[in-house]
Amino acid sequence: MKAQKNKSLELRPIGVIRSSIKKRSQAPKQGSEGAPDAWVEVHPFAVRALDGLAAGDEIIILTWLHQARRGTLKVHPRSDPNRRLAGVFATRSPDRPNPIGLHQVTVRKIERSRLQVGPIEAIDGTPVIDIKPVLCGVQQT
């Protein structure tokens, strides 16, 4: 197999979630379902990439759902056994081949290398892999 132009598809975490949610079983399914605010602690190498973000911004946080099962291809939506099995790409199940979490949150506060954001359902210790601004007219239409 030809390598992808010698570029690895290995992620390098840019930070970590610090949350009061310690276990997957305690996490709501979505941030909007009663999740708390949490902190994103940004690793030193990536702190410069935060410049321009401010409290009040709407951002998208991408995480690596490190406790997910990567072999799962079908699930009962919302873990409800009464609902028909669906492909994971038609659901937001954390169990999927590449368990990337997508969280749209508001920035509450920025302190040097950490951001308080919320509401967010990711559990304590979840690696953060990217932060992006929400684009009006693209994300919101």
Binding site for a second copy (CB under 8 A): 4-5, 7-14, 30-32, 45-46, 48-53, 59-60, 62, 64, 66-67, 70, 73-74, 85-92, 96-98, 100, 102, 104, 127, 129-133, 135, 137-141
Tell me the residue type at 17: I
CB of 48 to a second copy, least distance (A): 5
Distances (CA, A) of 78 to 17, 24, 28, 34, 74: 23, 14, 11, 16, 12
Tell me the residue type at 73: L
Q: Which residue has the tokens 């690596």?
A: 64
Nearer to a second copy, 34 or 86 (CB): 86
CB of 85 to a second copy, least distance (A): 8
CA distance 47 to 58: 18
Nearer to a second copy, 21 or 119 (CB): 119
CB of 20 to a second copy, least distance (A): 21
CA distance 10 to 13: 10
Token representation of residue 103: 């969280």
CB of 68 to a second copy, least distance (A): 9
Query: Residue 121's closest CA among 13, 14, 20?
Result: 20
Nearer to a second copy, 20 or 125 (CB): 125
Nearer to a second copy, 21 or 115 (CB): 115
CB of 18 to a second copy, least distance (A): 16
Q: Which residues is 17 bridged to in the sheet?
A: 40
